[in-house]
Amino acid sequence: MSDQNQKETTPEKQEYNITVYTENQIGLLSRIAIIFTRRKINIDSLNTSPSEIDSIHRFNIVINETEDVVRKVTRQIEKQVEVLKVYYHTNEDVVWQEMALYKVPTDAIAEKALVERLLRENGARAVLIRKDYTVFETTGHRSETDSLIAALQPFGLIEFVRSARIAIIKDSDGFNRKLREFERIEPGQDPVENEFLNDRDKVFSM
């Protein structure tokens, strides 16, 4: 097979958002991380937070892989006892954001109106103003927060930090509804009668 044909048949990698609903158990994060480590998959972003269901946590994991690999990983994650359900979606299937903080010298902001305009265009707002520096915050996609880094560098960007991704699935009624449906379809089993109960006198007689 030629190299050209090989390239055509090789599945393309892209960003996938893996959503994991779990019980809040110590050590679960480490076990999930090991699944990716063993497959030599780099996690680009990892966020844990409460979910829409009380006492149930939600992980959002971002990786760049083929769908076949992502499917196998999600199945392996679901085998963990504390994991209730795992979904995976492309970026087009979710609404996602990342938050970023930027520390810039206050004198540069005060003297140059251009910086104020850049911040306004990028939807940034001041969260802390001191004599020596000002901290701005903005939310957006990776390309948007990266572009603001480049724009602020000439004005003496002191520090930058970005959060992990948070994502909401577009076509989803929420796991809460799925859980209620599951409980209706598969209610708890009725107590099983002891097959020896009627013959207890014989069973326990010496």
pLDDT tens for residues 11-29? Answer: 899 999 999 999 888 889 9
Residue 27 CB partners (closer than 8 Å, separation 6+): none
Confidence label for 55 from pLDDT (cuts 50, 70 and 90): confident
Q: 26 Cβ partners below 8 Å, 6+ apart?
A: none
pTM: 0.77
Query: 60-105: per-residue pLDDT in tens?
Result: 999 999 999 999 999 999 999 899 999 999 999 999 999 999 999 9
